Amino acid sequence: MDSSTRPVGLAVIGAGYWGPNLVRNAQATEGVRLRYLCDLDAERARRVLGGYSTVAVSDSLDAVLADPEVDAVAIATPAATHLPVALAALEAGKHVLVEKPLAATYAEGAALVRAAEERGLTLMLDHTYCYTPAVAHLRELVRSGGVGDVQYLDSVRINLGLVQPDVDVLWDLAPHDLSIFLSILPDGVRPLAVAAHGSDPIGAGRACVAHLTIQLTGGAMAHVHVNWLSPTKIRTMVIGGSARTVVWDDLNPTQRLSVYDRGVDRAAADELAEGERRQAIISYRTGDMVAPALPEREALRAVMAEFRDAITERRAPLTDGRSGLRVLAILEAASASLAQGGVFLPVLGDESGEADLAAGDHAEGALL
């Protein structure tokens, strides 16, 4: 593909819940030309496109991948199909954008990362929240040291949601929070161990309410509460640091972020007079709250632009295959912990590159 003369030719695979959003944003992104919408139900795909669309409809993945005008695919199919669909695309020389999670298992995700890297192709995760203005601001604030040392992260993602037939609430909702954590944490701060607790009060056959606790390097801790059964929708995240604390309320468009110069300080031991009570070590700091002004834009449009740029500039995207693999590592450890009564289990893989991929060959055995 000569990126200087023509746009990236894209095929969207899957016309179900998320596919129409990909279609709409692909058509609105400069430098991307949507060529196909592919779905086993061709009539459904036609309904998504409308009667006047020039985008081709196909019910054959093989036919779409054989078209030299298709440079890349965006996959919006169930997680269990991500491996065969994405692998077929990579083997056909196509760049791949895939809906979360990367694959159904860590081993499958590692296979996709390896296939993309061996062929020099872009493999990108549609971790949409990472492309919101709020998370972009959080990333800059946390990684620049604006909150000081990260002490804790706490996220709540609950609503009266659709009980999925193939995954539990952890695999359905927690990837959003985990991808945000991994995106904003400073270099050198990573997950070490995970404990998960869940319940199935409605007899769905899988956890519908779950709590996930993650031990991080440096003694910090992250916590995620996900829930399909809450009549109230809540989307909040708190990032506590030694200097500032940030509260993100994604459902408050007028003030999504609040940055508090408030917290707890501990006096150094040599500053204390001999015999002072231990309670005197702790002091409370009360300062201002600042609400940063954030632009409003559709995050999925930024996802499409990043996918295009990663392809044309031949660079790794912000949410590349390895970031998706790290989310899978946490999810698999969480599932194993849930099955073993909530014990802490180590997170597979590390940040050293090849170790992530080599670990994929024995992922399941390491966690069971």
Q: For the segment 109-149, what is each residue's pLDDT rounded down to a tens digit?
A: 999 999 999 999 999 999 999 999 999 999 999 999 999 99
CB 344 within 8 A of CB 194: yes
Buried b (16+ CB within 10 A) or exposed e, 47-76: ebbeeeeebbbbeebeebbebeebbbbbbb
Domain shared by 118 and 237, yes or no: no
Structure token pair of residue 30? 């400069």
Residue 177 inside a domain? The answer is: yes
Per residue in 179-191, pLDDT (tens digit) is: 999 999 998 899 9
When pLDDT is averaged across residues 274-296 and rounded to a whole number, the result is: 73
Whether residues 48 and 114 share a domain: the answer is yes
Enumerate long-range contacts of 354-361, CB under 8 Å, 24 or more apart: 356/110, 356/113, 356/322, 356/325, 356/326, 356/329, 357/110, 357/113, 357/114, 357/325, 359/106, 359/110, 360/106, 360/107, 360/109, 360/110, 360/111, 360/114, 360/325, 361/107, 361/110
> Token match 């009360």: residue?
286
Residue 344 contacts residue 320 (beta carbons within 8 Å) = no
Give the amino acid at 14.
G
Q: Classify residue 1: in a domain, yes or no.
A: no
- CA 131 → CA 54, 136, 183, 187, distances in Å? 29, 7, 10, 19
Co-location of 151 and 273 in the same domain: yes
Amino acid identity of residue 186, one-letter, is P
> Which of 239, 265, 290 represents a domain boundary (last residue)?
290
Residue 41 belongs to a domain with what CATH number? 3.40.50.720
Do 232 and 339 sit in the same domain of this protein? no
Res 353 pLDDT > 80: no
**What is the percent of the chain where pLDDT is above 90?**
79
The first and second tokens of residue 182, run together, are 């991994």
Give one DSSP letter per residue of 73-125, joined into a string.
Answer: EEE-S-GGGHHHHHHHHHHTT-EEEEESSS-SSHHHHHHHHHHHHHHT--EEE
Residue 220 · residue 189 · CB < 8 Å? yes
pLDDT, tens digit (0-9, with 9 covering 90-100), for 262-274: 777 766 555 555 5
SS (H, E, C) 263-279: EEEECCHHHCCCCCCHH
Same domain? 15 vs 154: no
Residue 37 has pLDDT above 70, yes or no: yes
Which residue range(s) make up the domain with 87?
8-126+299-367
Q: Examine the domain organization and report whether 138 and 272 are in the same domain.
A: yes
Model confidence pLDDT, tens digit, residues 195-229: 999 999 999 999 999 999 999 999 999 999 999 99
Would you state the pLDDT for residue 278? 52
**Residue where a domain terminates, one of 267, 290, 313:** 290
**Do 146 and 52 have their domain in common?**
no
By residue count, the chain amounts to: 368
203 vs 366: CA distance, rounded Å: 30
Last residue of a domain, one of 290, 321, 351: 290
Residues 308 and 7: their CA atoms lie apart, in Å, by 9
Nearest residue to 255 via CA among 247, 263, 267: 247
Residue scoring higher pLDDT (304 or 262): 304
Q: Work out the end-to-end distance of the chain between its first and last CA atoms, rounded to an integer number of angstroms.
A: 45
Q: CA–CA separation, 331 vs 342, rounded Å?
A: 13
pTM summary value: 0.87
Residue 2 lies in a domain: no
Residue 162 has pLDDT above 90, yes or no: no
pLDDT band at 281 (very low <50, low <70, confident <90, very high): confident
What count of other Cβ atoms lies within 10 Å of the Cβ of residue 337?
23
The residue whose two tokens read 């296939």 is 115
